[in-house]
Amino acid sequence: MKMKSVKFRMIAIALLSATMPFTAKAQDKVEASVGADFVSNYIWRGTDCGGVSIQPSMGVSYKGLSLAAWGSVGIDKEDAREIDLTLGYNTGGFNVSVTDYWFSYHKEDGGYTGDYFKYGAHSTIHIFEATLGYDFGPLALSWNTYFAGDDYTKENGDRAYSTYVGISAPFKLGGLDWSAEVGLTPWEGAYANKFNVTNLTLKAEKEIKFTNSFSLPTFAQVTFNPHTQGAYFVFGVSF
């Protein structure tokens, strides 16, 4: 089963801000955003989820409450297609959110699996996750747990409540914005068969200026997964 992407901050924040979108403000302070990333490899929480991909996003927020949609479509037809919907709330450094992940897989006889509105516990390709996080400024923590949907990944067939704990720290170095993340899973689930460190990532961001009125945010990141022995180097451009 494929997981998710190259979004580096806590899920509620990442879906709204990782794409560096265009933002419009109305008098009632509602904010709307739209954007897309083009990435050389789809890496999420230390997991390889696909090759070259286009990842659009859009969202609205009001007084800390937000609703966002994020997706991924791989250039290779064998890569899963994905749509994620996140309802979140943040105040100060605290944030809480619920995300519905949905995946569509390529079929051997052509086309892709569908059934978006099929939500049966054992017959769905939706996964539902709850996230709690706090951003202290120099350090951000998040706890992410699947609580419903396609999460029966334990060897005995029981629901795993697959959990990812992320610790990230932003910093500046050499004129660039950097961030480092350590991610682990505390028990058997979708990420590993027991407690394991599953994500070590270092990311650098730079805005490339082409003219006085046009520039593109870019990033490069190196990711290691000590559990799977995986190593990945990713480049991305945001629009």
Query: Is residue 3 situated within a structural domain?
Result: no
Q: What is the mean pLDDT of residues 171-188?
A: 96
Query: Is residue 1 situated within a structural domain?
Result: no
pLDDT in tens, 198-222: 999 999 999 988 888 888 999 999 9
Query: Is residue 6 situated within a structural domain?
Result: no
Q: Which domain holds residue 137?
A: 11-238
Query: Is residue 226 situated within a structural domain?
Result: yes
pLDDT in tens, 28-64: 789 999 999 999 999 999 999 999 999 999 999 999 9
Length of the chain (residues): 239
Decide the pairing of beta strands 176-185 and 94-104: unpaired
pTM value is 0.84
CATH number at residue 48: 2.40.160
Q: How many domains does the chain have?
A: 1
Query: Is residue 222 situated within a structural domain?
Result: yes
Query: Is residue 5 situated within a structural domain?
Result: no
* Three-class HEC string of 170-224: EEEECCEEEEEEEEEECCCCCCCCCCEEEEEEEEEEEEEEEECCEEEEEEEEEEE
